[in-house]
Amino acid sequence: MDKYCVIGNPVDHSKSPAIHAVFARQTGQDLAYERCLAPVDGFAATLRRLVDEGYRGANVTVPFKIEAAALCTRLAPRARAAGAVNTLSFAHGEIAGDNTDGPGLVADITRNAGKAIAGSRVLLLGAGGAARGALLPLIEQGPREIVIANRTAATAAALARDFGRHGVPLRGAGFDAVAGAFDIVVNASSSSLAGALPPLPAGVFAPGALALDMMYGEQPTVFMQFAASQGAGVRDGLGMLVEQAAEAFAIWRGVRPDTTELFRKMRP
C-alpha cells in the first residue's frame, strides 16, 4: 500500500485524509493518507524521514509551503512561479514539487461555479503566498485584466511586475486605488482569519459578479456577507480545497477523481 500524508503545523484540523480516502475508493487506488505534524523548525527533518520510510508523496500546508519549494530537487513551472509548493512527489531520489492551489481555484470557479474567467475583469485581494499561487493559473485562463489589491501598494505592484510577462494586463494597487467593477473578486488575503473585511470601494462588484473567499468555515465570512449584500454570488474556499486535492491526486496516481459527489457531501 502506498503511503501519503499532509504535513503542517497545526494539521489536526485538515480534511485532506477524508478527501483522499474518498478519492482512493472512487478510483480503486490502494493507498493510505494521514496527517503529519512537523515541528515549526523541523520541516526538513520530517521530509527526510518520510522519504526514508517509503512515502510516495505529501501535501504541504501552513506554514511550510515556501520552505518546501526550497527543498525540492525539481519544480513544476507553476510551483516555480508561485515560489511555494503544496504537493510533493518522492521517486528515484528526487523530491518533485508542484502547486495545485491555483488550478484548484480555477476549477472551482469555472467548473463548480460555472463562471468563465476568460474575458473577465478579475480583482485579487492580497499579495502574499496565496495570491502568488493563484496568479499563473488565472492568467492562463485569459482574463481581460487582473488587478492585485493590497494594503501595501508597493507589494502588489511588485507582484504584478513578477507576473507581467505573461501577456495579460496586470496591475498592482492599494485598496484605495481600486476603480471600476469586476466580474470576479477573489479574497486571497488573511483578513477572514481575523474576521475583518478588506477596505473595498463601493461598486466593486459588477452585475452577476462572483466573489470567492479562499477561507472556509461553517458560516459565511465577513467578505462573503459583504459581497452578498452587494448582489454578488458568493463561494468559500471549500470547493477550491476539494479541487486542489483532486489535482494532487492526479499527479500522484495518474487519474483525476470526480469531485462532484464529494463536494455535495461536504457542503449539502
Binding residues for shikimate: 14-16, 61, 86, 101, 216, 244
- Say whether 115 is catalytic: no
Residue with cell 493590497: 150
Instruction: Tell me the C-alpha distance between 265 and 268, whole Å.
Output: 6
DSSP string spanning 85-97? Answer: -SEEEEETTEEEE
In order of 44, 87, 131, the CA distances from 212 in angstroms are 33, 23, 13
Active-site residue identified among 3, 65, 115, 265: 65
Instruction: Tell me the C-alpha distance between 198 and 29, whole Å.
Output: 43
Binding residues for NADP(+): 126-130, 214, 237
Residue with cell 488565472: 138
Residue with cell 522519504: 51
Scanning the chain, the segments in alpha helix (DSSP H) are 16-27, 43-52, 65-71, 77-82, 101-107, 129-139, 153-162, 222-229, 238-253, 260-266
Instruction: Kindly state the cell numbers that stand for 229.
Output: 449584500
Task: Compute the Cα dihedral for 25, 28, 29, 30 and give only its sign.
Answer: positive
Binding residues: 14-16, 61, 86, 101, 126-130, 214, 216, 237, 244
- Closest to 192 (Cα-Cα) out of 136, 126, 138, 147: 126
* Beta carbons within 8 Å of 267's beta carbon, 6+ residues apart: 238, 239
Catalytic residues: 65
